Amino acid sequence: MTKKVVVESFELDHEAVVAPYIRKAGDREIPGGGRVCKYDLRFTQPNTEPHMPIETAHSIEHILAFTLREFSDDIIGVSPMGCLTGMYVITTGVIDTPEKMKDIVIPGLGRLLEFDAVPGAESAKSCGTYLLHDLEGAKQRARAFLAKESELLDVYGHGLAE
Ligand SMILES: [Zn+2]
């Protein structure tokens, strides 16, 4: 195989970023029409802070999959990163800037704090490993993320231009 493959996240310098942050990680025209965007919501500092427990990441995935859709009809998918330091959110091209993503993520995580149970984790029917959840862990990570609200778009910690 000689095809040149570029995986955006492999090109990202994970030592240069400062978590938590919201980063646009992809923007693509779809052949035939339309556009998709991808966002990197990073909850913990790669390789230096402990990654999230898998139960926590799983619960954040479930709840954000629900709450982001309360605030936008342009969410295509929410999925945890395998490294357990954050989430990917795929959207339509309507959400084309990190600022617009932030305007959905902030209330979405705010709503997460109101939940008494993880949606879609009620039974084996609605989730592939329905006992693998930690609602309190998810709330703790959401609070830490929201506490840095003013710095979330400053991905590299250089300060935000006015
Ligand atoms: Zn699940």
- State the DSSP code for 151: G
pLDDT in tens, 18-77: 999 999 999 999 999 999 999 999 999 999 999 999 999 999 999 999 999 999 999 999
CA of 60 to the centre of ligand 1 (A): 10
How many angstroms does the Cα of residue 66 sit away from the middle of ligand 1? 12
The count of C-alpha atoms lying within 13 angstroms of the C-alpha of 145, restricted to the half-sphere facing its C-beta, is: 27
Q: Any idea where the domains of the chain sit in the sequence?
A: 16-147
- Mean pLDDT, rounded, for 129-145: 98
Centroid of ligand 1 to alpha carbon of 88 (angstroms): 15
- From the CA of 110, how far away is ligand 1's center (Å)? 21
CATH class of 16-147: alpha beta
**Ligand 1: distance of its center to the CA of 131 in Å?**
9
Separation of 140 CA from ligand 1 center, angstroms?
A: 19
> Is residue 15 a contact partner of residue 34, using CB atoms and an 8 Å limit?
no
- Name the average pLDDT for the chain: 97
pLDDT category at 125 given cuts 50, 70, 90 is: very high
How far, in Å, from the CA of 61 to the mean position of ligand 1?
8
Distance between CA atoms of residues 153 and 137, nearest Å: 24
